[in-house]
Structure 1
Amino acid sequence: MPYKDAVVRFLVLSDTHDNAYPDPYAIPPADVVLHCGDLTNMGGMSNYENAIHCLSEFDAELKLVIPGNHDIALDPSRKQFKNQNEHVDEEYFHGFRNALDMFKGYEKHTGIRLLAEGTHHFTLRDGRSFSVYASPYIPGDRRMAFRYGYEEDRFNPGTKKGNPIPEGVDIVMTHGPPLVPHRGYDLDVCDSGHHGCVKLWNAVQRTRPLLHCFGHVHDAYGAQRLSWNNEKWTDGIWRDNTTDTFTLADVPLPDIGVLATDPMQTLLVNAALKTHDPMMNDNAPILVDIECRYME
């Protein structure tokens, strides 16, 4: 069947850590909610139940969720790092199957879907469709959940681990940020410097999604836009890996949705809501309008 372009509104948030969920009645309606991980502070069944309740209150047809490094019970390999976390209460390491079953049980009547790492395709009730690549993994040691080694590449072809990001995907949704090689890039910065992943950046540069949303670095909330030039591949390899292949600009965050409709641009969004400063209010979710497909 033929397709025509249509705008889908996404409400993007991350790092709610049990108690940074916004008032759903103060948030504009959206078609889809994207939660980029760290639903909880350390997991626990009651905290996941609270997260499901909070997400279910948003006015959106779909609520797509990935875990973060604090969502310990949702990591299938959590037993590998249990002995490194003796200070963490035992309950947070158990209930993997129970937690998955809880999300699955609420899926039908809440629209909440916990996404496994990989590529997913969705069609809304009116026929608008889009694709999402999801991954909860971030680089680092095993003291928290969903980690991979600094030298490991989960996101590009030719790797033995992970799930490479495919070309043509509309949205890349990860817990951690990329490391963009541009002096103006600040969506992965905190007091100790940059915390993005260069392998993830290589995948974003290769695939050029309309939107790459993430969180994890709480002090780097905001949005920036990459504008690509045509120097993408030369004889099947990168021409270079410098800022000559793109320009970067800050994006103001209006109350209406930020547009992400140009295939020669990628909108980068760090939607971490929880702030580290107790004197500061938590950040607000970010609305993004993406031009996707509509089945006629």
Structure 2
Amino acid sequence: MANENIKTRVLILSDTHSASPTENLSSPFRTPLPSADVLVHCGDLTMVGLMSEYKRVMKMLQGVDAQLKLVIAGNHDISLDETYYLRKGKFMQRLKEADEDMPRRARELWTGEKARTAGIIYLDEGVHEFKLKNGARLRVYASPYQPEFCDWAFPYWRNQDRFNPSHQITPNAVPIAVNPVPDFPNIDIMMTHGPPMGILDQTTRREHVGCEHLLRAARRCRPQLHCFGHIHEGWGAERVTWKVNNENEVEWKEYVKEKEAIVVDHEKIEEDRAVFVDLGNGSEKPLRWGEETLMVNASIMTQTYRPSQGPWVVDLDLEKAE
């Protein structure tokens, strides 16, 4: 990468489900969260998308020391998916009467003045670009969608390719991409709620439940960092080396050349309140952008909904903004 790169720190959270950092010294998810240039929250802000839950999450994010705080929804944030909410919101929130105005109020909360004042930006699906105070340019692809999961919000069927344009879809898939993932080298960070297939997506039943189309898109995009959550027991990080010369494979297992798990010292996580990974020039092992992507499942909740898994802090080299 060029000499005009700027070291930028990214704090990654996902699946906090309305929980706030504790003061318990044995929990890595505790106050204060590490400071960063950018915070990204990969969805499942809440349990069922109630306004009271959103307000608790916003208060938590307001207290984080980060200039820019990027937020997407997840399948539990049901009132941010208006189509889903009007169909099933009353049942999911155990309401006596449907609150059809809740999607509007939820969106206004996350896009309104209170959020902007705190540096919070709610991202719809698609590409977003930012100029950071440190002088860096940050290009993000965001999406709250994941394969249909027990009839929760932001779903698509597994035979539908939501992430690749029609001429690049997974063979035999149905193209539905409205905001496809761009090709390399146009994105620095992908933030999706769900994981790609085979990457930190294994359930306690040892089933891989990620999305093969998302993996295909990530291989095409090859960002420096792809962060997500959704599968709580998939918490962790892997350094993925791509197979980049054969774009026509049918089998998703052929997209990845090598995976290297990031080794975690759990005592150090408790001490530091996060896992720290440096991918920048001058680090022990700089990222080879275009060949590698760091994949991070940053689910704070365990499978039993205990907020006791640590955040991730990643240092990246970003290009200087013009």
Which band: TM-score by shorter chain?
Answer: 0.7 to 0.9
Letter in 1 for 2:141: Y
Question: For residues 101 and 239 of structure 1, do their structure 2 counterparts lie closer, same or farther at Cα, with a shift above 3 Å needed?
Answer: closer
Shift of 1:244: 7.3
- Letter aligned with residue 113 of structure 1: I
Aligned to 1:122: 130
User: What is the CA-CA distance between 1:26 and the residue it aligns to?
Assistant: 2.9
Check 1:129–1:244 CA distance in 2 against 1; reply closer, same or farther (3 A cut).
closer
Secondary structure, aligned partner of 2:296: strand
Bigger mean CA offset, 156-165 vs 218-227 = 156-165
Q: Residues 93 and 198 of structure 1: is their aligned pair in 2 closer, same or farther, counting only changes over 3 Å?
A: farther
Distance 2:54 2:193 in 1: 17
1:247 aligns with 2:258: yes
Matched, 1:290 2:316: yes
The one-letter code of the counterpart of 1:248 is K
1:47 to 40, 47, 53: 53
1:99 aligned partner: 106
Alignment of 1:67-106 (within 5 A): 67-79=73-85, 81-82=87-88, 85=91, 88-89=94-95, 94-105=101-112, 106=114
Gapped regions of structure 2 (runs ≥ 5) = 24-29, 167-174, 280-286
User: Aligned partner of 2:106: which letter?
Assistant: A
Task: Give me the whole-angstrom Cα distance separating, in 1, the residues matched to 2:93 and 2:122.
Answer: 27
Q: Is the 8 A contact 1:3 1:295 kept in 2?
A: no
Cα shift at 1:95: 1.1
Matched, 1:35 2:53: no
Q: Does the Cα contact within 8 Å between 2:215 and 2:252 map onto a contact in 1?
A: no
**Closer/same/farther in 2, CA of residues 226 and 74 from structure 1, 3 Å limit:** same
Taking the aligned partners of 1:208 and 1:92, their CA distance within structure 2 comes to: 41
Matched, 1:272 2:291: no
Distance 1:239 1:145, change over 3 A: closer
Is contact 2:72–2:122 with CA below 8 Å preserved after alignment?
yes
> Structure 1 residues 164 and 45 mapped into 2: Cα distance closer, same or farther (>3 Å)?
same
Contact residue 73 and residue 94 of structure 1 kept, 8 A = no
| TM-score scaled by length of structure 1 | 0.87
Cα pair distance change 1:81/1:149, threshold 3 Å:
farther
- Which residue of structure 2 lines up, in the alignment, with residue 10 of structure 1? 10
Q: Structure 1 residue 93: deviation in Å?
A: 6.1
Pick one of 238, 241, 244 that aligns with 1:227. Answer: 241
How high is the sequence identity, in percent, across the aligned residues? 38
Q: Deviations over 1:221-262 (max 9, x none)?
A: 0001102355244xxx45975447521110124656313442
Q: 1:92 to 1:221 in 2, by over 3 A?
A: farther
Structure 1 residues 136-285: aligned runs within 5 Å:
136-140=144-148, 143-158=151-166, 159-167=175-183, 168-180=186-198, 185=199, 187-192=200-205, 193-233=207-247, 237-238=248-249, 242-243=253-254, 245-253=256-264, 255=272, 257-260=276-279, 261-263=287-289, 264-277=291-304, 282-285=308-311
The one-letter code matched in structure 2 to 1:4 is: E
Structure 1 alignment gaps of length 5 or more: none
Listed one character per residue, the Cα deviations across residues 106-147 of structure 1 (whole Å, up to 9, x for unaligned) are: 233100011000010011123211111000001115721111
Q: TM-score, normalised by structure 2?
A: 0.81
Contact preservation (8 Å) 1:44, 1:92: no
State how many pairs are aligned. Answer: 286
Aligned mates of 2:34, 2:46 — CA distance in 1: 24
1:59 has 2:73 as partner? no
| Cα RMSD, aligned residues only | 2.6
Q: 1:226 to 1:51 in 2, by over 3 A?
A: same
2 CA distance for matches of 1:117 and 1:201?
17
